Amino acid sequence: MKNTIIVLFFVPFVFYFSIFKNNTAEKFYEVNFSSNKHLEVGEELTYVVSYTFIKLGEIKIIVKNKKVIDGKIYYSTIAYMDSYSGIPFVSLHMIYQSTLNPQYYSEFFRGIVKKDEYTTFTDYTFDYPKSIIKIKKGKIQPYQLWTDSTTTAKKEYQDGLSILYFARMFSGSGKSINVPCFVNEKKEYTTINSYTQVSGVSIDAVNYDIACVKIDGNMNFISVFGLTGYFEGWFSNDDAAIPIVAKLKVIIGNVKVELKSWKREGWTPPKFKKD
C-alpha cells in the first residue's frame, strides 16, 4: 500500500501521458506552441490527491522565475509533494525542480526525497551543445555523492516536472506527439494525445463547470509503483491551460488529482457554456 501511495504524488507530472520504449530515429522534437499560451512567474497551483474517498496529500507547483537569454525565455519551476499527517504507514515529502528552455524541454532537473533518516537528491544537467546528460545522485547533510556519471543526449528531453508544462502548452492542439523523456536514468518516449473538443469539468473548488480540453493515454504495462492502464486529464481552455483534474489507474484501483486552489494574477477558471 505504501509504494502504491507514493506514485500518487509522482504521477501528477506524468499522469497525462503513456510512457513506452520507442525505436524511432533520434532527433530534436520542436512543437509550434500557441503564442497565446504562457506561464506566469509567481503562479502557484495546489492539488489534492485522493484514493476513493480518502484524501492522501497535496501537490503544490510553482513558477518561480524566468530569465531572458538572447531573447529567449527560460523558466524555473518547483513542485512540493507531501502526504497528510495521520495517514497510516505513509510519510512522503518530495521536491522537484526543473529549468525549462524556450521549447519547454528540460535544461536541469533536481529531485529531493526527504526520508526519516536522511534526504537524497538526484540531479540531471542536460548539456545539449555537448550532447550529454550529467547525472549526480547522493545524500544531503552530511553530503555524500553516490553517482557521478554521464550519458548521451542526441535529442532534447523532458524530466518528471517539465513534461507537465510542455503538455500545458500542447493542450488543445488536437494532435499527438511522441516526446523523449529522461526519468530514473532511463530514456523513454511519452505519447501525448491532445483534443480540441471543449467540455465542462466539475471540481469542489468552483461552483460551476469549468471549460476544459482533454488529454489522455494508455499504459499497457505496469510502470513504477503500479501505474498502469488508461488515464485522462483536463486543462482549462484558455491561455493559462491550468491542469484541472486527472483520473488514472494504479494496481489497487482508480485515483484522482484535483485542483484545490490557485494563485495566478487575473486568472479565473473559464466557465463552460453549453450550446
Total number of domains constituting the chain: 1
The confidence score (pLDDT) of residue 228 equals 53
Q: pTM of this prediction?
A: 0.86
Q: Is the pLDDT of residue 158 over 50?
A: yes
Residue predicted with more confidence, 137 or 115: 137
Q: 116: which strand partners?
A: none
Q: Is the pLDDT of residue 4 over 90?
A: no
Spatial neighbors of 253 by CB under 8 A, at least 6 apart, are 51, 52
User: What does the alpha-carbon distance between residue 227 and residue 28 come to, in Å, rounded to a whole number?
Assistant: 28
| Alpha helix segments (H runs only) across the chain | 2-10, 162-170
The confidence score (pLDDT) of residue 80 equals 94
Task: Supply the Cα-derived Rg of the chain in whole angstroms.
Answer: 18
**Residue 24 pLDDT class (50, 70, 90 cuts):** very low
**Assigned domain for 139 exists:** yes
Least confident of 23-37, 89-103, 240-254: 23-37
Least confident of 37-46, 125-134, 185-194, 220-229: 220-229
Residue predicted with more confidence, 115 or 91: 115
Per the omega criterion (within 30 degrees of 0), is the bond before 102 cis? no
**Assigned domain for 270 exists:** no
Indicate the helix (H) or strand (E) that contains 125.
strand 119-127
What domain range is 37 assigned to? 2-263
**Assigned domain for 274 exists:** no
Residue predicted with more confidence, 199 or 54: 199
**Residue 89 pLDDT class (50, 70, 90 cuts):** low
The confidence score (pLDDT) of residue 79 equals 93
Neighbours of 209 (CB within 10 A): 17
Q: Is the pLDDT of residue 81 over 80?
A: yes
**Assigned domain for 85 exists:** yes
**pLDDT tens digits for range 137-151:** 999 989 999 999 999
**Assigned domain for 134 exists:** yes
Looking up cell 483534474 gives 245
**Assigned domain for 93 exists:** yes
Q: Is the pLDDT of residue 270 over 90?
A: yes
- Please name which of 230, 115, 246, 275 lies closest in space to residue 171, comparing C-alpha atoms: 246
Average pLDDT on 11-33 reads 43
Residue predicted with more confidence, 17 or 84: 84
The mean pLDDT of the chain is 83
Q: Is the pLDDT of residue 13 over 70?
A: no
Cell numbers found for residue 166? 510542455
Total count of residues recorded for the chain:
275
**pLDDT tens digits for range 193-252:** 999 999 999 999 999 999 999 988 665 444 444 455 567 889 999 999 999 998 876 665
**Assigned domain for 64 exists:** yes
Least confident of 101-110, 157-166, 170-179, 218-227: 218-227
Q: Is the pLDDT of residue 73 over 50?
A: yes
